[in-house]
Structure 1
Amino acid sequence: MSETAKSRVLVIGGTKGTGLLIARLLHERGFRVRVLARDPARAAAELGASFEVIAGDLTKADTLAPAVAKVDHIILTAGAPSGRYAPESLVKATDYQGVMDTLAAARQAGLAGRFVYLNSIGIATPSLAGALLNLLKRNTLVWRRRVEEEVRASGLDYTIIRVGFLLDRPGGEHAVIVGQDALALAPRHRIARTDVAEAFVEAMQHPGASRVTFEIVWGKGPRRESWSTLFEKLKPDPRSPATP
């Protein structure tokens, strides 16, 4: 059995959207996939018998320890619901405290692999779209910027991937820019969920994506460079003091 086939990956947010695409792609590539779900029966019906579905909720810390037990990597794509108003209490509980509790559970479990976190571009660069998003999902970019700092200081091996506007379009048709330029949140900076899913699976084990923060959006023209080539250009994040 290959090393890939032996690896178990927990996907938090794997029941819908980009997280669901990531979970399915991991399975296609031979990983054992565990998905955290608030409604396990519904998730199991959606995913199929080949996936391990475990009951839990990102906002309920006591459900996270069983989820992270005996996994090799964790991918977290979950966040406050998109497309509608979310009060700051919900945003903080999901986009900040839920991630903090996951980090704590991962450290307690002795996670030896990678923690891969999905964030949004615009975290560090003000824009009109960012301001509107903070109004709709109260201060989500503020809490998500804070959580990035906690991920970097966690002592875990990590990758933070900031994504552009997500589109339900085919992947592999456009060049992808992998950069560290702190792009503003704007409709021109967009990318297909399918491309994002592939980036997560590739970055999870690539040495060039260890302890780095980067952004992915579509570039001009067709896809030419491999993910490996793109990741090898990345610079590690400045060192943060480890959280005790």
Structure 2
Amino acid sequence: MADAPRSTVLVTGAGGRTGQIAYRKLKERSDRFVARGLVRTEESKEKIGGGDDVYVADIRDADRITPAVQGIDALIILTSAVPKMKPDFDPSKGGRPEFYYEDGSYPEQVDWIGQKNQIDAAKNAGVKHIVLVGSMGGTNPNHPLNSLGNGNILVWKRKAEQYLADSGIPYTIIRPGGLLDKEGGVRELIVGKDDELLQTDTKTIPRADVAEVCVQALQFEEAKFKAFDLASKPEGVGTLTKDFKALFSQITTRF
């Protein structure tokens, strides 16, 4: 039997904390994937190895995305607006820190317009599958994340998710809970819908596991045309998730 052709996959937001992991995972599986990355700055490009397969572009500028998506089979979208803490916060005085978004980097521009641009560019390039990482909490307009920097980040993420679901391109929408900088591949993963997991004790997940689910989603028909919440049990509790086909098969929600 001939070897299956390798899939060319672009990870956007490849300089980010989860994006770096997803990009690295694809590189490690070079028998199956040809990895590309998209980052916003030359500095980020250097940070992930600076190879010719890393493109530098601003996702808010639709035309700049086009070269990176030419000839790709799949796209993993890991771009996200990131709120910054105002520098004058003094924890010793109590109260909560205030956050802001830099000009031009509000969720509306990054999580909505930037993601819409990526979806449009991918569609024009004939991409066969888009994996989009959003966030849990999108069913609640009053979620505290929306008030950070007055950015309404979950509202705009949700709008981009809906745009992808309506695009006609096979998609997988992953909405992780709170992201942990912990080791991946050592927990039982849990899928849910409509933010039900937020009412439980299991509402966090290591970034490395989110990145792994992104890569696994590219390999199974069972992951296509589905949207789901994603969390993990604490390490040492439950059964380590190894069968991703079974995990995706549990999901019945298209949005």
Runs of 4+ off more than 6 Å: none
Matched, 1:213 2:227: yes
- More deviation in 227-236 or 115-124? 227-236
AA aligned to 2:113 is: Q
After superposition, the Cα gap between the structure-2 partners of 1:213 and 1:88, relative to the gap in structure 1 and judged at 3 Å, is farther
Query: Distance in 1 between the 2:158 and 2:45 partners?
Result: 33
Q: How far off is 1:44 after superposition?
A: 4.0
2:138 counterpart (106, 116, 123)? 123
Identity of aligned residues (%): 33
2:109 counterpart (93, 96, 99)? 93
Query: Distance in 1 between the 2:84 and 2:186 partners?
Result: 26
AA aligned to 2:249 is: E
2:22 is paired with a residue whose SS is: helix
Q: Is the 8 A contact 2:15 2:45 kept in 1?
A: no
Aligned length: 232
TM-score, normalising length: structure 1:
0.86
- More deviation in 206-215 or 85-94? 85-94
Query: Distance in 2 between the 1:126 and 1:98 partners?
Result: 21
1:160 counterpart (155, 170, 173)? 173
Query: Distance in 2 between the 1:158 and 1:117 partners?
Result: 8
- More deviation in 179-188 or 91-100? 179-188
Q: How far off is 1:180 after superposition?
A: 2.2
After superposition, the Cα gap between the structure-2 partners of 1:14 and 1:2, relative to the gap in structure 1 and judged at 3 Å, is farther
Q: How far off is 1:39 after superposition?
A: 2.0
- The superposition leaves residues 18-72 of structure 1 with CA deviations (integer Å, 9 ceiling, x where unpaired) of 01100001111112111112223x3443223666111211111110111111101
**Unmatched 5+ stretches in structure 1:** 239-244
AA aligned to 1:95 is: D
AA aligned to 2:168 is: G
- Other-structure match for 1:175: 188
- The superposition leaves residues 196-228 of structure 1 with CA deviations (integer Å, 9 ceiling, x where unpaired) of 111111012211110100111012514334222
Q: How far off is 1:181 after superposition?
A: 4.0
2:68 is paired with a residue whose SS is: helix
2:217 counterpart (185, 194, 203)? 203
Query: Distance in 1 between the 2:239 and 2:133 partners?
Result: 22
- Other-structure match for 2:156: 143
Q: How far off is 1:87 after superposition?
A: 6.6
Q: How far off is 1:182 after superposition?
A: 2.5
- Other-structure match for 2:120: 104
Query: Distance in 1 between the 2:162 and 2:78 partners?
Result: 17
Q: Is the 8 A contact 1:59 1:93 kept in 2?
A: yes
Query: Distance in 1 between the 2:14 and 2:213 partners?
Result: 15
TM-score, normalising length: structure 2:
0.83
Q: Is the 8 A contact 2:80 2:110 kept in 1?
A: yes
Query: Distance in 2 between the 1:57 and 1:194 partners?
Result: 25
Q: Is the 8 A contact 2:197 2:229 kept in 1?
A: no
After superposition, the Cα gap between the structure-2 partners of 1:49 and 1:64, relative to the gap in structure 1 and judged at 3 Å, is closer
Matched, 1:9 2:26: no
Matches within 5 A, 1:17-28: 17-28=17-28
